Structure 1
Amino acid sequence: MANQQRNLAPESIFKRFWTSAIAFLNQLREKETWQTVWHWGLWRTIPKRRRILKRIQELQPLHANAPPEMRALRDEVFSKSCLELKRPEQEQILLDTLTHVHQPLGFEQIFFAAIYPVLLKRDMVVIPMTTETPHRLDVEIGYLGHNEDYFFWVLEIDSTKRLTLNTPLNPRIEARDDKRYTIYSLGSSGLVDTDFAEYAEQWLLDSPRLTIALPLLAAAYADQWILNARLYLAHILTDLKKRNYKVTAMVIPDFERERLSLLRRLSLDRLRKRQLLSERRNR
């Protein structure tokens, strides 16, 4: 019996080693694995790293009920978003916005950090709003509309509510002074179905090794969060574009509406003349 156990032990160790080696080689064949390793190595060599690390340290601690791996994931998404920003003051604005959350769970900060570079590329400004509701981030997002006039919409990102790519939008319209604006109340947890445990299984990591590999694992996991958050933002922007005229035109005076209508007609006339000239030249 003892001899059988001695024979089984080496076989079991060899089998586990062989399975791990095959899985590791399969991972190396995946393009995403090399991208993760590349970004992980690049992050540790770029000059901006020290400044971004300093800002990460200024992020507030997460609530005690937050998942243990959420801090590494939040920091990774924050750093990736900061790498996309061109100026240090933009990084500071993002940091100041994220620190407005009362008792953060991490999901709300991850969602907004992921979409912040996209908002800047669309020439939108971000103004954090104070709220006493825990685990929620309220943000006013402004843009210049008709006649260089300021319009805005609001995001209410709640970590206690679930959100998937198929979650329907349920916006509401409110008024502030002479402006009507749209409020999008969203969840933020569940935007990525795969959890850290499943990622650990893919990488064949048990609990002790998971702690060591957490930075590399968070880098791979963060990319999926950023992608899904920006996909959902695209749904919001599409909805906002559809209702934009209805929301903003209500506060435009009649003479301004007529002026804009005249400008559109003149633009159409110029376009038609260009098309006629082009057709004559081609004859």
Structure 2
Amino acid sequence: MTPGDENDYGESARSDEGQGYGRTRLRLPDNDPYGGARRGGRSSSRSLVTVVGVVVVLIAAIAFANRGGEDSSSTSANGSTNSEPKAKSTAATGTRPVQSTTGGVPSGFAHTQQGAQSAAANYAVALGSTGMFQTDSRHALVDTVYTPAAAAKLQGAMDQAYSTDFLAKMGLDTDGNAPQGDTFVSRVVPVGTTPQAYSTATAKVAVWYLGLIGMSGTSSTDPVTSSWKTWTFDLQWTDGDWKIVSDQQKNGPAPVPGDDQAATSDEISKAIEEFGGFTYAR
């Protein structure tokens, strides 16, 4: 009910009350056979409404408390457990993130479908970071998140992609550094993941993410902008962890832009310095 609806409801009630009892009040004689029944009936109706309201609230509370996730099950009278079919949940599972890192990238993911989704989300963050714009850190990142065979093929192609010309277009020098006083921003923020295929040896996971990229500074001609993309990873269980075999990206889905006022370059630079990233776990 909206505030307007609530006000209209109140006005209607007050109007009915005035019409029913203020203008044409009828006083029944004390010996009227229906007087006592009428007053008693109203009290009984009110009590019944109160009881029904309480029961409805209790039923709703019990239903909410008993909501189950994907693993919820019910036990029958004979002691057997039957899982009810439910739509796949997109909410976080509460699984704790990994505790180890390799080259600054989370590692040691669980050998499960959830582990594959966590790996894909964290690898998207690593591959979308500023470290990819500097040769040494890029080589380390590629060796960490890809299988050895895939990394060997990609290193040369990555070096060509992050060429001097490309770095210059981003406002960076040949070593991938931002000008003095400016802050280069490149960040991937996963919004969600979905498994498209899974087995104990391989997995295919799509990561929907918000990307930030650009140069924050008073002299920048390439301000920080946002974009929405979907990054799909083909993963393989290799040497006790999930590793990328191949990956591809596509634009969207992008929500309708809001009417937020763009921040100044100083505000963006300060936010990038103050707000760190997360370790993502499905």
> What TM-score results when the alignment is normalised by the length of structure 2?
0.24
Normalized per residue, the structure richer in helix is 1
> What TM-score results when the alignment is normalised by the length of structure 1?
0.24
Normalized per residue, the structure richer in strand is 2
Larger radius of gyration: 2
